[in-house]
Amino acid sequence: MSVIQKYSEGKAWEKKILGTKGKKTSRMYRTVCSVFMVAICLLIVSAGTSSAQHRARLGDLVPTDTIVMGIVPAEDPSIALERQKPLTDYLSERLGRPIRVFFATDYTGVVEAMRAGQIHMAWFGPFSYVLAAERANAVPVAVAMHDDGSVSYRSYFISSPEVARVLNITEPLEGKEGIQELFRRLEPHKRQFSFTFTDPASTSGFAVPRFNIHQGTNGGEPEDWFSRVGFSGSHDAGQMMIRQGTIDIAAVWDKRYHEMISAGTISPETNVKIFRSSPIPESPIAFRRDLDPEIIKKIQQAFADMPQEIARTQGETYKGYQIVTEEDYQIIVEIKELLDRL
């Protein structure tokens, strides 16, 4: 059984925190987790078969008179739809056809939608892209470039201020040495604190932090170190669980952490950054391999030419997009292979 299957079977917070904050919280997480479980089960049911077998069951793509773009919103879908409008208007003009946005509750839903042929292209995290490449024949096209020219991001471990004080962390630990130091500090407090990942198909919310825990504990299991382990369902939810005191430590996406601080939803005092991973290849936009080659060329060119003002609508530090290939995600493939062996 792979680590993805293991954490998909009974590890959601629906089973971990019901009743800890009253019926309202219980109902919310029951809803989040039930949707999540349906989506992830669609993906893991075929675990162990080859990529070719997965692709043999691809659904026919919907007609391309309208291009359907899959997204997992980090915010309310109505707000996300408004945020996407400058991009969809730009792509519509460049591709010569309307763009329709397809929202999913998590990355596994986007992967399944692409596999079924319901969407032509989508925004993925690096880890969910690797899943989509295996199961939906996805091919990356471009990633966002930041103002400093970087095309990477990080995973953060965020904690309550109380936990940061107990661990005596005033500046975030970083990289392999940092994660090893973090677990040295956790040793006297083993199984005292609770921990949440985000989504089993999230790179910054699961794949990289699970890899980091493997590094920091010399191959140990999260359950050996934390009192409770589960999934929050979204990066926002993980942050709010920290702020509200429901969870002690959460693995999250760095960009969303800074956006929520800028919006005043959380603060560095309520949500303390105690660890940051090594750089992760940026999240790609990907299309299904059997999409019309002429449309693929137009998509590639549209992202290569994207003006900064359009890129900025997708991230406050984005200045444009850089074309990428499948080889750029080999490191994520290797992390997935490790997780599959755990």
Q: For residue 210, tell me if it sits in a domain.
A: yes
One domain for residues 125 and 194: no
- pLDDT for position 3: 54
Classify residue 21: in a domain, yes or no. no
Asked whether residue 173 is assigned to any structural domain, the reply reads yes
Amino acid at the residue 314 = Q
328 burial level (CB within 10 Å; 0-12, 13-18, 19+): middle
Q: What is residue 19's predicted lDDT score, i.e. its pLDDT?
A: 28
- Note whether 315 and 230 are same-domain residues: no
Q: For the chain, how many helices (H) and strands (E)?
A: 15, 14
Residue listed under structure tokens 């080659």 = 293
Range(s) of the domain holding residue 247: 152-280
Helix intervals (H) in 187-314: 208-216, 222-225, 235-244, 254-262, 293-304, 308-311
What is the chain's length? 342
**Contact, 203 vs 164, CB < 8 A?**
no
The reply to whether 135 and 245 lie within a common domain is: no
Give percent helix, percent strand, percent coil of the chain, each to the nearest 5.
50, 20, 35
Q: How many structural domains are present in the chain?
A: 2
pLDDT of res. 316: 85
287 lies in the same domain as 269: no
Residue 38 lies inside a defined structural domain of this protein = no
Domain boundary among 256, 280, 304: 280
Tens place of pLDDT for every residue, the chain, 342 residues? 555 445 444 344 433 332 233 333 333 333 333 444 344 444 434 444 444 444 548 999 999 999 999 998 766 778 888 889 999 999 999 999 999 999 998 888 999 999 999 999 999 989 899 999 999 999 999 999 999 999 999 999 999 999 999 999 999 999 999 999 999 999 999 999 999 999 988 889 999 999 999 999 999 999 999 999 999 999 999 999 999 999 999 999 998 999 999 999 999 999 999 999 998 989 999 999 999 999 999 999 999 999 999 999 998 889 999 999 999 999 899 899 988 888
Same domain, 185 and 218: yes
- Residue 107 has a pLDDT of 85
Residues 161 and 276 placed together within one structural domain of the fold: yes
Q: How far apart are CA 126 and CA 269, in angstroms?
A: 30
Same domain, 77 and 172: no
β pairing state of 173-174 and 272-276: parallel
Q: Which of 249, 280, 311 is the last residue of a domain?
A: 280
Residues 189 and 264 in one domain: yes
Check residue 158 and give its pLDDT: 98
Dihedral, CA of residue 109, residue 241, residue 284 and residue 263, to nearest 10: 120
In whole angstroms, what is the distance from residue 131 CA to residue 161 CA?
35
Q: Residue 105 has which token pair?
A: 């509750």
In a domain, 34, yes or no: no
Query: pLDDT tens across 133-157, in order?
Result: 999 999 999 999 999 999 999 999 9
Kindly tell me the burial class for residue 322, based on how many C-beta atoms sit within 10 Å of its own C-beta (0-12, 13-18, 19 or more). Answer: middle
Look up the CATH number of the domain holding residue 261.
3.40.190.10
Distance between CA atoms of residues 139 and 299, nearest Å:
12
- Alpha-carbon distance 31 to 195, whole Å? 20
- 160 and 242 assigned to the same domain: yes
Same domain, 111 and 69: yes
Same domain, 66 and 126: yes
- Supply 47's token pair: 């675990």
Same domain, 217 and 311: no
Contact 276, 153 (CB under 8 A): no
Q: CB–CB of 111/55 below 8 Å? A: no
